[in-house]
Amino acid sequence: MGDNGNQDHKPMSAAVKEERRCFIANKLVLTVVVLGASGDLAKKKTFPALFTLFRKGFLPKNLKLIGYARSKLSNEDLHGKIKDYLKGDDKTKDEFLSRVSYVPGSYDGDEGFQGLEKVLEEREKEFEGAPLGRLFYLALPPSVYPQVCAGLKKNCANIKMAGKDSWLRLVIEKPFGMDLKTSEELADKLGELFPEEQLYRIDHYLGKELMQNMLVLRFANQFLSPTWHRNFISNVQICFKEPFGTEGRGGYFDEFGIIRDVMQNHLTQILALLAMEQPVTLSADDIRDEKVRVLRALSPVALEDTVLGQYTAGGDTKAYLDDETVPKGSKTPTFATCVMRIHNERWEGVPWIMKAGKALNERKVEIRVQYKPPAASIHGEVIDQMRNELVLRLQPDEAIYMKIVVKKPGLEMESIVSELDLSYKQRYGDTYIPDAYERLILDAIRGDQQHFVRRDELRAAWAAFTPLLHAIDRGEAEPQEYPAGSRGPPASDILVSKAGFVKNANYLWKGKNSGQAGDIS
């Protein structure tokens, strides 16, 4: 059973891409098994992403989707659960749902997985010698990964009568452990069952359009390359803000907190792509090799470089501790700002500021690269407040803009900050921007692991955060209160300022068609 999707070490030509597309469309016999099919993730993300790929013609003609879960459902019951989340006309929805069936079964023991294997064999037996693909999507809590993967390995991993280019792959959702030790234990258990090339650890941030653009923006623009260095850059800020609280999901969130839920995975992946060196090629392993190198250069986050917060009531949002699903007296942080350091030649001395929080004043994920002021400027000290910044907004309304200093129109020689602005809605208004899950599921079908997390990446990311997490778990840091709807604890702004970020209070970026006004993270 081959799995050669990650063997290319050169960018693919148009002819090779077309050959691959035609192979998948016309030859591959694909079965996607969604484990945890009755849960929220499956109905809100996994099945809708598969439907969009189906509707747009990216999936094979010979396609079957199987839902698997403990719930006693019929095919029609599952269709009813997911149909309202599919975006398209009823005819296409019905065509898609006709390919979706359901198999009930437990996540431990062999009986359920044996029943699943019978369904798989029955589907595949008429295609002897054809290339077969089995994609298992684990839309499940990580606590059941080992037993589910063991059941799949024992009962569903031997594809009979498989032709050349057949494969089996597993897509695994985060969180991948609670710290370095538990992550390694989980990786060991899965690694004993399936080789790394069959494991696709999904971080949906790697599927976002601006993240996909990172390698092009960084390594295809000569004007940017020489300044991407500690000699020019003062600090880098990566910011994640949500305007809502836990909203009844406090039980899940309280187990992990904002650092495990957002920083250690999503924001660290952003940091790696921003800070890495140019890979030798665009192959998955070459890219991930460079990400690992920069993550290994990260020093563990120190407690003194961290501000934690927990939201209280504000506006229509009740306090975190008033959520009935949150344990009484919980000290779990819903907000964190961390200043990180990368110890290598390119980034030594440059603070990397991560900020993430719930129940804040706006919804936003953005990167802010702030440059140093000109040396011995002829324009005086005022220029020190007018920093060049490259800003990449991942959501909402994707945009890339560069803050530059220009002369204010008029008779006087007065400097102001303006911008070079690429707002995606304005520039690419007629272009469909895929959802992250659509892109990543398609990559998994194509066998492209570039945008999935490799085990050594995971190990390096956990190593940077585990000492801080253990200190928080021991009660060595208390979260500061902040009202819902605010920017977070005031101490966060003080920490960011100490790290070198200079705020220009007189400048507002008004994103085209975004309804957004404001530039301050």
Which residues are known to be catalytic? 266
CA separation for the pair 55, 92 (Å, rounded): 7
For the chain, the maximum distance between any two Cα atoms, rounded to a whole number of angstroms, is 83
Query: Cβ distance 400 to 217 under 8 Å?
Result: yes
Query: In whole angstroms, what separates CA 248 from the centre of its chain?
Result: 23
Read out DSSP for 41-79?
HIIIIIHHHHHHHHHTT-S-SEEEEEEEESS---HHHHH
Tell which residue, 479, 483, 478, has the closest CA to residue 312. Answer: 483
CA separation for the pair 397, 425 (Å, rounded): 7
Burial class (CB in 10 A: 0-12, 13-18, 19+), 286: middle
Beta bridge partners of 317: 314
Query: In whole angstroms, what separates CA 462 from the centre of its chain?
Result: 16
Quickly count: other Cβ atoms within 10 Å of residue 16's Cβ.
12
> What are the Cα distances from residue 471, in Å, to 467, 478, 489?
6, 10, 20
Number of residues assigned to the chain: 521
How would you classify the pairing of strands 389-395 and 399-407?
antiparallel
**Peptide bond before residue 175 is cis, with ω within 30 degrees of 0:** yes
Orientation angle between helical segments 268-275 and 209-219, nearest 10 degrees? 20
Query: Cβ distance 93 to 51 under 8 Å?
Result: yes
CA separation for the pair 157, 192 (Å, rounded): 14
Beta bridge partners of 336: 308, 356
> What are the Cα distances from residue 244, in Å, to 44, 45, 313, 334?
19, 20, 11, 11
Query: Cβ distance 311 to 482 under 8 Å?
Result: yes
Tell which residue, 518, 488, 515, 517, has the closest CA to residue 503. Answer: 518
CA separation for the pair 79, 224 (Å, rounded): 49
